[in-house]
Amino acid sequence: MYIHVVKPGESIYSIARQYGVSWQKIVSDNELQNPDQLVAGQTIVILEGSRQHVVQRGESLYLIAMEYQVRVSDILRANPQITNPSNLSVGQTITIPPRTIKFGPIQVNGYAFPNINRETLRKTLPYLTYLSIFSYQVNADGSLDDIDDTELIQAARSARVAPLMIITNIGEDGGFDSDLVSTILNNETLQDTLLNNVIRIMQQKNYYGLGIDFEYIYPRDREQYNNFLRKVVSRLRPLGFTVTTALAPKTSATQQGQLYEAHDYPVHGALADHVILMT
C-alpha cells in the first residue's frame, strides 16, 4: 500500500498510470466523490498488487479464492460491498487482494460516535478488534449520560468485534472537566456509584469491556487516579470485563503539563489490559 500526496497538476488518471492501477480502482478504494477535482496536498491510498476478477457463471467465492490462492475472508475484507457472499452476480467485478506476508497478529481499535455513518461503520468493522463507542459522560453524582449505542454494539458483535464502553470527564461545555473528575477521584462513595452504573450498563447492553478516557486531571490527583484504576480492575475483571485506558503521549516521565502529569504510565501498564496513546 502506498500513500500518494497529490501534487499540483496531477489528475486521477496520471496517478493511476504512475502506479499501474486503474483510475476506477483508486476512486473506489478512496471513496472519492469528485475524482476530477483533486486538491494539491490531498492524500490518496494506492492498494498495491490488487487484481480485478469478473465473476463467471457457476463461480463461488470459494472457487475464486482457490484460483488466486487467497482466503475467502481476505476477499470479503477487500470487497465490503459484498453483503451476501453466497449470491455473486455473473459479471460482477471483485477485487482480489495480494498475497501478503504476515509478520504477526495485531489488535486494532477504532473510535466511533453513535451517529457514525452506517456505511462507513460496515466497511471498517472487518478490520477492527475493538470498537470504542464514544462516550458516556460522567456526572458529579456518579451517574452517566445515556447514549444511543445499541445498534453499534449489535453491529460490532455481529462482525465479531469487541465493543468497548468509553467513559469520559467531558463537562457541559464540551471540554474535559478537571473539577468534575477530581470530585469523583476524591470520593469513594461516588466511585462506587459510578462503577455500579458502569457495570449495570455493560451487562444490560452486552459490552465487552470498559475504556476510561479521563483527561486534564489535576497533577495532585495522580495517585487518586491510580487508586481508582485499581478499584475499577478489582470490580470489573472478576465479571469478565476488560479495562482499557487512554494515555496522553509523553516524551518523558517528567513531562510537565496538566494533560500529562496525572497519567502514571507504569501503573496503567501494570493494571490495564490495554492502553491507547492519544494522537
Q: Does the annotation mark 215 as catalytic?
A: yes
The span from the CA of 73 to the CA of 127, in Å, is 11
Q: Is the dihedral of CA 59, 63, 68, 74 positive or negative?
A: positive
Burial level of 20, CB count in 10 A (0-12/13-18/19+)?
Answer: exposed
Exactly one of 67, 151, 215, 261 is catalytic; which is it?
215
Active site residues: 215
